[in-house]
Amino acid sequence: MRKYEIIFIIRPDATEEDIAKLITQFEGVATGAGGKIERVEKMGRRRLAYRVKRQREGFYVLFVLEGSGDTVHELERRFKVTDTVIKFLTVRTDEELKRTERLKAIRAKQEARRGKSRPKPAGPPPQAAPPPTAEAAPA
């Protein structure tokens, strides 16, 4: 099973009930196709960088799911035929997660190696005696 992030934009004239209905419908499609939704994030209404299907803003929704390529293909097919979805993007993130875990392990190993070869600092330096004040000097 691979991990994917799917973000889609819903028309701004859709009501809250329509948006909730669409999200539950797409969740059902994903789980029905053998996927597992890990997180659903409603990002809210935002302005688009450019016009998409004559719309200047849209309601953004993010799905983080674990599934196969067939699951993603079915979701994308549904996005294409649904009129209220004006744009979508799917990104496979499992390779990035593996790469970051590998880099963290390498960095931890390097830190452990540096810690053994480099002596620890000897603590704070001793403070010098304060300079004599003019009041303490004999007149």
Q: Do 40 and 61 touch, CB atoms closer than 8 A? A: yes
For residues 98 and 134, which has the higher predicted lDDT (pLDDT)?
98
Q: Do 77 and 65 touch, CB atoms closer than 8 A? A: no
Could you give the strand order of the β-sheet that contains 36-52, starting from the edge strand earlier in sequence?
A: 36-52, 55-67, 2-10, 85-92
Q: Which residues are bridge partners to 58 per DSSP?
A: 46
Q: What does the domain layout of the chain look like in residue ranges? A: 1-10+67-94
Mean of the pLDDT values across residues 10-36?
93
The predicted structure's pLDDT at residue 15: 93
Pick the closest to residue 70 from 123, 4, 128 (CA basis). 4
Model's pTM, two decimal places?
A: 0.68
User: Each residue of 44-64: pLDDT tens digit?
Assistant: 999 999 998 899 999 999 999
* DSSP assigned state of 37: E
Residue 7's CB: how many other CB atoms inside 10 A?
Answer: 16
